[in-house]
């Protein structure tokens, strides 16, 4: 796709170039074809004196997005990136604290969306009214030495409470779960939605985009490829060995030695821990996660807007394997998941087949832990 395509230019900053601008990049903002040159192009449009742009016209924005946990490390950066989308008319920022300042700060950016802040449980319902996409990065992050599952006891309750509110106030919204452990928090969300009678499996997503972003980056570095060309599907779940990059399905087609496969797979699986250790107690990935989550939001909005060519990996209710939830590449449409790309699991290498079998018991246990938690809460008379 050419940079001059309105579809590309419409994807940023609410500005549509109606003249021919000389840019030689290609592709969409966050997708497999994204590029630094496109960002340069965006900046050029924000500061039009830097390039020869004959005229700019505003682009209609139409979707409302809520971020629950918006004052956190991921939430703030994600809010900034979503504020740049011309597809967004309103950005609702919810947190239990510190969100007023974040919203005031962000609201000064001269992009089209309105920014509204909501603080504490009393304002949660209002933060969700009329929204099309709800993103949930609320919860605690890991410290060195912890697994994602160590976050379960705190984050399970947070996700449960927030999804109850989504069920009551935005039952048709796409729900993007970022809070860890994703392998369990998504099944919890599904149980909550079922109990509320509003579960739509095609609209509930565990956000695994960061695994794809990392896989694309590491493969491009290792094989000396242009980053914008590389697309690696990552399937399974979002923790340790449940993260399975399908390197044999890398596009463009590329060959790896056995050593490269092992090294890349392990690096992708441990990339979250790499960041946790580098941050040395100050949290986990926030900037790359915000980038990845913004890409998934942008893809969802494009799908809601009728774009018929939107594909992402996500952790969803699935029949691809015997496991009830599984991350894979899906086609997104107005109603959520339109198709699951089963071809990715065909013709796997021996290494991938073994890794797929090896991840299943751990992923199964994490799913069952989430479902068990939600059902126990319900049996105990809690408001699940």
Ligand X SMILES: NC(=O)c1ccc[n+]([C@@H]2O[C@H](COP(=O)([O-])OP(=O)(O)OC[C@H]3O[C@@H](n4cnc5c(N)ncnc54)[C@H](O)[C@@H]3O)[C@@H](O)[C@H]2O)c1
CA distance 175 to 85: 18
Answer yes or no: are the C-beta atoms of 328 and 345 closer than 8 Å: yes
Residue 296: closest CA among 201, 174, 120, 114: 174
Q: How far apart, in whole angstroms, are the C-alpha atoms of residue 62 and residue 86?
A: 8
What is d(CA 380, CA 101) in angstroms, rounded to the nearest whole number?
38
Site string for ligand LMR, 256-295 (x = CB under 6 A): ----------------xx-xx-------xx----------
Min dist. Cβ of residue 316 to ligand LMR (A) = 17
**Alpha-carbon gap, residue 383 to 71, rounded angstroms:** 26
Q: Which stretch binds ligand X (CB under 6 A): 65-73, 193-201, 226-234, 360-368?
A: 65-73
Helix H or strand E segment including 8: helix 6-9
Return the residue of 158, 210, 247, 384 that touches ligand LMR, per CB under 6 A: 210
Evaluate whether 3 touches 26 at the Cβ level (below 8 Å). yes
Residue 268 binds: one of ligand LMR, ligand X, none (C-beta under 5 to 8 A by kind): none
In the complex, minimum distance from the CB of residue 111 to ligand X, in angstroms, rounded to a whole number: 22
Angle at 185 between CA 180 and CA 186, to 5 degrees: 120
Q: Which is nearer to ligand X, 38 or 359 (CB)?
A: 359
Q: Is 175 in the site for ligand X (CB under 6 A)?
A: no
Q: Which residue's Cβ lies closest to ligand X?
A: 72
Give alpha helix (H) positions in 30-179.
Answer: 36-46, 73-83, 99-107, 124-128, 152-169
Pattern 111-150, binding to ligand LMR, x per CB under 6 A? ------------------------------xx-----x--
**Ramachandran region of residue 231, left (φ > 0), alpha (ψ -120 to 50) or beta?**
beta
The distance of closest approach from Cβ of residue 238 to ligand X in the complex, given in angstroms and rounded to an integer, is 5
**Reduced to 3 states, what is the DSSP secondary structure of residue 55?**
coil
Please say which residue, 17 or 192, places its beta carbon nearer to ligand X: 192
Asked whether the beta carbons of 177 and 155 are under 8 A apart, the reply is no
- Pick one of 186, 289, 323, 337: the residue that binds ligand X (CB under 6 A): 289
DSSP letter for 229, please.
G
Residue 44 or 208 with smaller CB distance to ligand LMR: 208
Query: Which option in ligand X, ligand LMR, none does residue 283 bind, with CB closer than 5 to 8 A by kind?
Result: ligand X
Is the CB of 285 or the CB of 327 nearer to ligand LMR?
Answer: 285
Give me Rg for the CA atoms of the chain: 20
For the question of residue 176 being annotated catalytic, the response is no
Looking at 102-110, 153-161, 166-174, 323-331, which segment touches ligand X (CB under 6 A)? 153-161
Enumerate binding residues for ligand LMR (CB under 6 A): 141-142, 148, 180, 210, 272-273, 275-276, 284-285
Residues designated as active site: 238
């Amino acid at each position: 796709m050419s940079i001059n395509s309105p579809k590309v230019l419409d994807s940023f900053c609410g500005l549509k170039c109606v003249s021919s601008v000389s840019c030689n990049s290609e592709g969409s903002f966050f997708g497999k074809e994204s590029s630094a040159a496109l960002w340069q192009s965006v900046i050029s449009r924000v500061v039009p004196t830097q390039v020869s742009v004959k005229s700019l016209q505003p682009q209609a924005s139409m979707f409302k997005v809520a971020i629950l946990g918006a004052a956190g490390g991921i939430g703030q950066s994600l809010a900034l990136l979503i504020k740049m989308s011309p597809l967004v008319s309103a950005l609702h920022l919810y947190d239990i604290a510190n969100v007023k300042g974040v919203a005031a700060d962000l609201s000064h950016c001269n992009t089209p969306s309105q920014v509204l802040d909501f603080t504490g449980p009393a304002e949660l319902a209002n933060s969700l009214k009329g929204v099309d996409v709800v993103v949930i990065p609320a919860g605690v992050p890991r410290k060195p030495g912890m697994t994602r599952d160590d976050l379960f006891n705190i984050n399970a309750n947070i996700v449960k409470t927030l999804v109850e509110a989504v069920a009551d106030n935005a039952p048709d919204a796409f729900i993007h779960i970022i809070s860890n452990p994703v392998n369990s928090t998504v099944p919890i969300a599904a149980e909550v939605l079922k109990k509320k009678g509003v579960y739509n499996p095609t609209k509930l997503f565990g956000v695994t985009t960061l695994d794809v972003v990392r896989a694309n980056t590491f493969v491009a570095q290792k094989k000396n490829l242009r980053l914008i060309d590389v697309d690696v599907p990552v399937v399974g779940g979002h923790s340790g060995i449940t993260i399975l990059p399908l390197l044999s399905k890398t596009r463009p087609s590329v060959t790896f030695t056995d050593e490269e496969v092992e090294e890349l797979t392990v690096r992708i699986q441990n990339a979250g821990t790499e960041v946790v250790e580098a941050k040395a107690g100050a949290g986990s990935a926030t900037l790359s996660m915000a980038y990845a989550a913004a890409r998934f939001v942008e893809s969802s909005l494009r799908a809601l807007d009728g774009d018929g060519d939107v594909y992402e990996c996500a952790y969803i209710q699935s029949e691809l394997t015997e496991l009830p939830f599984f991350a894979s590449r899906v086609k997104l449409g107005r109603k959520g998941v339109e198709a699951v790309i089963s071809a990715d699991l065909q013709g796997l290498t021996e290494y991938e087949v073994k890794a797929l079998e090896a991840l299943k018991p751990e992923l199964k246990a994490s799913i069952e832990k989430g479902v068990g938690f939600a059902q126990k809460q319900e049996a105990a008379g809690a408001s699940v």
